[in-house]
Copies of this chain bind each other. A is one copy, B any other.
Amino acid sequence: MTRTPSMNSAQLIVDNDFEVAKVNKRLFGSFVEHLGRCVYTGIYEPGHPTADVDGFRQDVIDLVRELGATTIRYPGGNFVSGYRWEDGVGPKDQRPRRLDMAWHSTETNQFGLHEMARWLDKVGGNELMEAVNLGTRGLEDAMDLLEYANIPGGTKLSEERRANGADKPFDIRMWCLGNEMDGPWQLGHKSAEDYGTLVSSVAAGMRQMDPDLELVVCGSSSHGMPTFGAWEETVLSKAYDLVDFVSCHAYYQPHDGDMASFLASGVDMDGFIKDVAATIDATKARLKSKHDVFISFDEWNVWYSDAEASRNPEGIGNWPVAPHLLEDVYSVADAVVFGDLMITLLKNADRVHAASLAQLVNVIAPIMTEPGGPAWRQTTFYPFSITARLAKGGTVLEPKLSSSQVSTPKYGDVDGVNAVAVRGADGSVSVFAVNRSLDTPAEFEVRIGEDLRSKAGLTVEAQTLHDDDINAKNTRDAQNRVTPQANDTVEFDAQSGTVKLTLPAVSWTAIYMK
């Protein structure tokens, strides 16, 4: 029997001397896949009123800058497993139209590697994370793409890049070695044994060309795969010293109306990370390696994958260009789960050195556009942009958290409040917290140690994302229906370093102390 008191409570204690890890700026990566309208009529729409000479939507560029995304994973995703990178370079009128199996679409190839690199230049401050196709292709093509992208000049492919307008190499540092190769839905999916063999030869070859590459090997495509764990063990056993990251992917949605478990999705993500970290550690020990492998959580989000909008077109003659696909519209509740996932990533910043919000525009995305029309922010935009702004460059502090429990069908009793604190480079302290309870607000107390107080504890501000209607959403016609609001319940005792405030049921809050 679980009683629901009128008010839950939680306490977070942090101290300057107890750190988890520096926040890798790659934690705030995102993902642009050739899927639906992420590229076409998303970031790229020649003829749009705001489009520049390259066909890039300026309104979207502005929102991407505001979002604060860093590393951008490209071009897939499932898409990459049938992709021929050379289709997307050279004169646009000679680029072939191809079928995309992953999303039952026609790929016009009007946007490719050069366009992506140029777009990132215009956004500014971002980094490209490129994926190679290990579905229909293998070593030779991966090497060719790397030569095309990263060799300054003097060879056939690097000179082709230069002739195609990029005099300097793209100098791409981070590479995904295929995508979700364990998934039966993946074109050319493989056994762990076969993928391990292939990826070790591809990783070794790519390093012979560019030794400092940071390579991401495919982990399981979800925590729930039947081969989870065994896959990681087999693949890492073959490729451990050759790679820098193993990937994790996770998407969350309510199942059968179970909102309580949905709101506690961070519990699953936390367990997922810890399971993969354990496999990494065990492999490192077994191989007696000196090398460290980290986690690239390069697909994560709330995704209503059962919904009509996530269905591909059907039929042998139905391969649309840039269809409406996966255009989930996010509620307040979704944004709270989303915020919790970010808190979970931060709490595991010692193991998770990169993460990509999937995806950036239109496709399960924080930014939505209308073709020919406006662009706007979804509810999930705010937890991302605020966390990225406050946490980038900071250090995660060891969180001593105690909280009232809430009951969930899927995870049992879990912390009603999840929270993490980040110390900024300037000495400020930011705390991110969610109240996972469906119906009960929580009294939340934060105590920061003396060292922190001396630098940070002068002023406190808090912003909360919440709505009495947890299904409230932003849409084209109500673009600002949901936005974060100042939390006016903050009480601050500067002497003891204690902040108290109320977290409404189903809410996300950022507290900034400076």
Chain A residues in contact with chain B, CB under 8 A? 82, 96-99, 101-102, 104, 106, 135-137, 139-140, 143, 147, 150-152, 154-156, 159, 169, 184-185, 187-191, 194, 197, 201, 204-205, 208-211, 314, 316-317, 319
Contacts and interface: CB of A to CB of B under 8 A. Distances in A.
Contact of A319 (B104, B155, B169, B319): B155
B137 A140 contact: yes
Of the listed residues A96, A106, A135, A205, the one surrounded by the most CB atoms of chain B closer than 10 A to its CB is A205
A239 B208 CA distance: 30
A136 B140 contact: yes
10 contacts: A97-B159, A98-B156, A99-B155, A136-B140, A136-B205, A137-B140, A188-B205, A189-B204, A209-B316, A210-B316
Nearest to A317: B152
Nearest to A140: B136
Nearest to A204: B184
A97 B188 contact: no
B210 A189 contact: no
A197 B104 CA distance: 24
Contacts of A169: 316
A425 to B, nearest CB: 31
Contacts of A184: 204
A209 B152 contact: no
A189 B184 CA distance: 24
Contacts of A205: 82, 101, 136, 187-188
A503 B72 CA distance: 71
A140 B135 CA distance: 9
B209 A99 contact: yes
Given A189-B201, A201-B190, A106 B210 contact: no
A106 B152 contact: no
A7 to B, nearest CB: 51
A343 B210 CA distance: 43
A94 B210 CA distance: 27
A48 B194 CA distance: 50
Contacts of A154: 97, 106, 319
Given A155-B97, A197-B190, A319-B155, A139 B139 contact: no
Across the A-B interface, the 7 shortest Cβ-Cβ residue pairs: A96-B156, A101-B208, A136-B140, A152-B317, A97-B155, A188-B201, A136-B139
Nearest to A189: B201
Given A98-B156, A140-B137, A155-B96, A208 B187 contact: yes
Given A154-B319, A155-B106, A316-B150, A143 B82 contact: yes
A154 to B, nearest CB: 6
Contacts of A191: 197
A99 B151 contact: yes
A152 B106 CA distance: 12
Contacts of A189: 201, 204
Given A97-B155, A135-B139, 17 more contacts: A82-B205, A97-B156, A98-B155, A99-B151, A102-B208, A136-B140, A136-B143, A137-B140, A139-B187, A151-B317, A151-B319, A154-B319, A188-B201, A188-B205, A190-B201, A194-B197, A210-B316
Of the listed residues A137, A147, A184, A188, the one surrounded by the most CB atoms of chain B closer than 10 A to its CB is A188
A316 B168 CA distance: 13
Contacts of A194: 197
Nearest to A160: B96
A1 to B, nearest CB: 40
Contacts of A151: 99, 316-317, 319
A22 to B, nearest CB: 27
Contacts of A187: 139, 201, 204-205, 208
A136 B206 CA distance: 12
Given A155-B319, A197-B194, A188 B139 contact: yes
A234 to B, nearest CB: 13
A327 to B, nearest CB: 22
Contacts of A139: 135-136, 187-188
A372 to B, nearest CB: 23
Nearest to A196: B191
A210 B208 CA distance: 35
A188 B319 CA distance: 34
A190 B317 CA distance: 35
B136 A316 contact: no
Contacts of A135: 139
Contacts of A210: 316
A91 to B, nearest CB: 15
Contacts of A204: 184-185, 187, 189
A194 B198 CA distance: 11
